[in-house]
Amino acid sequence: MYIYDEIDQQIVNERVAQFRDQTLRFLEGKLTEEEFRPLRLQNGLYIQRHAPMLRIAIPYGVLSSKQLRQLAYIARTYDRGTGHFTTRQNIQFNWPKLADVPNILSDLADVQMHAIQTSGNCVRNTTTDHFAGVAFDEIIDPRVYCELIRQWSTFHPEFAFLPRKFKIAVNGSREDRAATLVHDIGLHALLNDRGELGFRVMVGGGLGRTPMIGVVIREFLPEKHLLSYLDAILRIYNRYGRRDNKYKARIKILVKAMTAEKFAAAVEEEWSRIKDGPTTLIDEEVKRIKARFPEKPYQTLAAELPEEVKHFVNQPHVKAWYERNVFAHKQPGYKAITVSLKALGHAPGDMSAEQMEVVARLAEEVGFGDIRVSHEQNLILPDVPNTAIPQVYEALRQWGLVTANIGLLSNIISCPGGDYCSLANARSIPVAQAIQQQFSDLDYLYDIGELDLNISGCMNACGHHHIGHIGILGVDKHGEEFYQITIGGSQAPARLGKVIGPSLKQEDVPQAIEALITVYLETRESTEERFVDVVERLGLDPFKVAVYGQKDAHTEVNHD
């Protein structure tokens, strides 16, 4: 994590004091609900179905063991002992009391955390690759730029009240693991032919009600202009984005209405006025931020697994886990290990206080106290030496954290849905559990291979259903919960799934998924060909027929 200095600390402390004052005034009736609502949202506080929900920022998914331990403390003290990790690399608590929230924020500030701008119509937590800093194919360490953006966006006085929420993603590797094409702004690091660092700038991507893939508005933005260029984009959006209809208020709608070329031209014109001003980055600052991510004293290790570890991971019950949940590291002899929060019978992304403490302890014992949150709602221990693999496995296994399903169908990504979220059309957790139940046989899962399944409880698409190989969306039909299924979406390359037909009742969803999988298994040309590849090759028809039968799939054909 980035380590605060006194000034960073003072800013979060002052925020706690400010929010304490706002909450008190609200509770005393001195601030109206209308006034308090936008203020509390800028601090991640929603009023949900059961109780307030508090969303806490985990900047770009980077956590220290000390911070995770504090989250465990908060879960136990103010919640019912669990936290929910979200697809945006944050954590949510579903049961805090409003009057406790200022104390929670104060506990967070003690470990250099906050809930600033985790909701509301402002610039949200910047997200990136969960292997940032340890990935083998990295061009730059994106955490440095994420932190620069975090500081630039924190309490940005001009952009606190945008037409709608605003999400930025930064990718620092060759492969895009940050889904930059489905963010309001996506930044992809590149080196030009002189070896200088810059970013490809994409705007207007996003999921939600009108899913769109971002468009490139600048092929190469030199590093030092990063923040002034962001200022220019945000200013155009702030001034001209629609404010009359919240469903048309995202930047993607503005980009589409203006056309990408005109939007880009407007940004360039605005930028030409502020370019080379004081917001231009200076090398000292980039270096200073780099230096505030602690060095990791890696040992010199052999790349090969030691014999006894090789033996350990070859045991039948460990093998699948090792293959699915253990990733290559840029440092020889180290691995990044995914801690699965997708155990059968548990809500995806949920983690108990005890589990958090186990992971925090492991991170300290075998790593350097560094932990990551992935947008797939799992945690990652990024620096495990090969020799510690058996120890890590055993500790995680005792706490139900070794489900060997990363990248497989049962690694479901799901929003909290109707059990917690007041915007939901339908519940998502029971659907996720029913599907996990249906596909609990690991051998079968293995045979199916790589498959991303995403579930959202409503159009807001917090579960990113459009980019799931299979996506499930909760819809409301005359007050009843129904589910619409899309197939063929993908995160990288970013592609949006297509709807296969009329929405289904909850109890019919697992069979429908089974039917889709059966078509896939029967038609794939080899085990290399993934579900999503088959959809690409064959189109939707065979899948429609499998789910709805011949007639419904081709309603436009024969009606006799």
Partner 1 sequence: MTKQILNEVIVENPFQEVADLNTLSSYSHVIIPIELYLEHSSAFEQFQGELGIRIGTDQDLALLVPILSKISLIEVRYDSFTDGRGHSLARLLREAYHYKGILRASGDVFKDTLYYLKRCGFNAFLVKESETLDHALQGLNVFTESYQAAVDQIPLFRRRVELLRI
Binding site for partner 1 (CB under 8 A): 5-7, 10-11, 14-15, 17-18, 22, 31-32, 35, 38-39, 121, 151-163, 227, 235, 238-239, 243, 273-274, 277-279, 281-282, 284-285, 288
Question: What is the rounded CA–CA span in Å between residue 347 and residue 353?
Answer: 15
22 binds, among partner 1, ligand SF4, none (CB under 5 to 8 A by kind): partner 1
Q: Is the CB of 157 or the CB of 297 nearer to partner 1?
A: 157
Q: How far is the CB of 398 from ligand SF4 (least distance, A)?
A: 31
Q: Is the CB of 15 or the CB of 524 nearer to partner 1?
A: 15
Residues facing residue 504 across a β-bridge? 483
Q: Is the CB of 44 or the CB of 463 nearer to ligand SF4?
A: 463
Question: What is the rounded CA–CA span in Å between residue 159 and residue 166?
Answer: 10
Q: How far is the CB of 101 from ligand SF4 (least distance, A)?
A: 20
Q: Which two tokens stand for residue 90?
A: 């944050």
121 binds, among partner 1, ligand SF4, none (CB under 5 to 8 A by kind): partner 1
258 binds, among ligand SF4, partner 1, none (CB under 5 to 8 A by kind): none
Amino acid in the structure at residue 514? E
Angle at 436 between CA 435 and CA 439, to 5 degrees: 85
Per DSSP, the residues of 268-321 read HHHHHHHTTSTTS--HHHHHHHHHTS---------SSPPHHHHHHHTSHHHHHH
424 binds, among ligand SF4, partner 1, none (CB under 5 to 8 A by kind): ligand SF4
For residue 294, whether the previous peptide bond is cis, meaning omega lies within 30 degrees of 0, is: no
Residues 6+ apart with CB under 8 A from 77: none
Q: How far is the CB of 238 from partner 1 (least distance, A)?
A: 5
Q: Is the CB of 38 or the CB of 542 nearer to partner 1?
A: 38
7 binds, among ligand SF4, partner 1, none (CB under 5 to 8 A by kind): partner 1
227 binds, among partner 1, ligand SF4, none (CB under 5 to 8 A by kind): partner 1
278 binds, among partner 1, ligand SF4, none (CB under 5 to 8 A by kind): partner 1
Q: How far is the CB of 253 from partner 1 (least distance, A)?
A: 16
Q: Is the CB of 339 or the CB of 461 nearer to ligand SF4?
A: 461
**Nearest residue to ligand SF4, using CB?**
457
Q: Which two tokens stand for residue 53?
A: 């929900």
Q: How far is the CB of 490 from partner 1 (least distance, A)?
A: 35
Q: How far is the CB of 6 from partner 1 (least distance, A)?
A: 7
Binding site for ligand SF4 (CB under 6 A): 415-417, 421, 423-424, 456-458, 460-463
Q: Which two tokens stand for residue 383?
A: 């620096």
Residues 6+ apart with CB under 8 A from 102: 16, 19, 20, 23, 24
Q: Which two tokens stand for residue 390?
A: 């058996």
52-56 and 45-47: which strand pairing? antiparallel
E strands present in 142-256 = 168-171, 185-191, 197-203, 215-222
Q: How far is the CB of 21 from partner 1 (least distance, A)?
A: 9
Phi, psi of 101 (to 5 degrees): -55, -45
Q: Is the CB of 200 or the CB of 275 nearer to partner 1?
A: 275
Q: Is the CB of 186 or the CB of 463 nearer to ligand SF4?
A: 463
| Tally of CB atoms within 10 A around 99 | 11
Q: How far is the CB of 222 from partner 1 (least distance, A)?
A: 17
Q: Is the CB of 52 or the CB of 142 nearer to ligand SF4?
A: 52
Reduce the DSSP state of residue 512 to 3 states and report it: helix
Helix (H) or strand (E) holding 93: strand 91-93
Question: What is the rounded CA–CA span in Å between residue 31 and residue 233?
Answer: 33
